[in-house]
Structure formats: structure tokens, C-alpha cells
Amino acid sequence: MLSIVTVCSGNICRSPMAEKVLRSALADAGLAEEVRVSSVGIGPWHAGEDMDPRAAATLQAHGYEIGHVARQVDGDIAEADLVLAATGDHVRDLRRAGAPADTVRLLRSFDPAAPQGAEVPDPYYGGDDGFDEVLAMIEAATPGIVAWVGEQG
């Protein structure tokens, strides 16, 4: 079974949104049984908390699951086949935390329309529209991630 971990700062906005979107897309592609998808945050700030209510509302409005409990990055990343980081800073932090360099990629690197080095911005301090923008970025990258999974089989 493949393991994919999505990563952001606190695991209450971007990474759980990516986890839920990716799980849904993998299920739609008939690949859900072949991949374990999880999410973590770089820091401990929100460990044990629910997803940000704005992230949950955005996901729910688009038909995605929302159950989530935030957790901090742990040894799972060393065993993951693919670690999807929201930002370049997360890539750096993940490598320092023991994630093998060849498994860590920017999430948006799977979106062929995204510019080189494109990041998923943190919507936490902004308005609700930021969560819609983040969801659109995640959804644009998801087909590429699903294709990557298919290539691993």
C-alpha cells in the first residue's frame, strides 16, 4: 500500500483539505484501497484540534468529507512514498525532520498549469474566499497526483 502525507503549518487548513480532496479523487479512480492518505502539520500549534471551521465549510460546500483531528509531523513521513508540502519552507522543514528528499514535493508541482515553485498560500489569516482559492489549487493538482499513484502500480 502506498502512503501519501499532505503537509502544511498547523494541519487545520491546507493539508486536511488536500487530504480530503485526494481521498475523494482516489476513491473515484478506484484506487482508495491502494493508498493511505493522511495529513500533518509542521508545528504543534493545533495538534488535537478540529479542522478550521472555514476549511470545513468550504469542503462541505463542495461535497467533501470533513472529519479531522490535527496532528504534528512524526515518523510517518520517513515511511511515506510521497510527501506533499504546501510551501517551500515546509519542504525544507520536512527534509530536516527526516523525510527522504526524493519523496518530498510541492503539492502544486502536480498541477501542469502552475508555475515552477508554486505554493499553496495560507488562508488562515484572510477571509473565506482564501479557502475557496486554496481548494481550487488543490483540485487542480489532484489529477496529477492520482496519475502518479497509477504509475506506481
Tell me which of 14, 54, 71, 108 is the catalytic residue. 14
Tell me which of 50, 76, 81, 122 is the catalytic residue. 122
Distance from C-alpha of 130 to C-alpha of 124, rounded to nearest angstrom:
8
Tell me which of 8, 23, 52, 93 is the catalytic residue. 8
Q: Is 13 a catalytic residue?
A: no
Q: Is 71 a catalytic residue?
A: no
- What would the DSSP string read from start to end of the chain? -EEEEEEESSSSSHHHHHHHHHHHHHHHTT-GGGEEEEEEESSSTTTTPPPPHHHHHHHHHTT--------B--THHHH-SEEEESSHHHHHHHHHTT--GGGEEEGGGG-TTSPTT------TTS-THHHHHHHHHHHHHHHHHHHHHHHH-
Q: Is 8 a catalytic residue?
A: yes
Would you please indicate which residues are annotated as catalytic (active-site) residues? 8, 14, 122
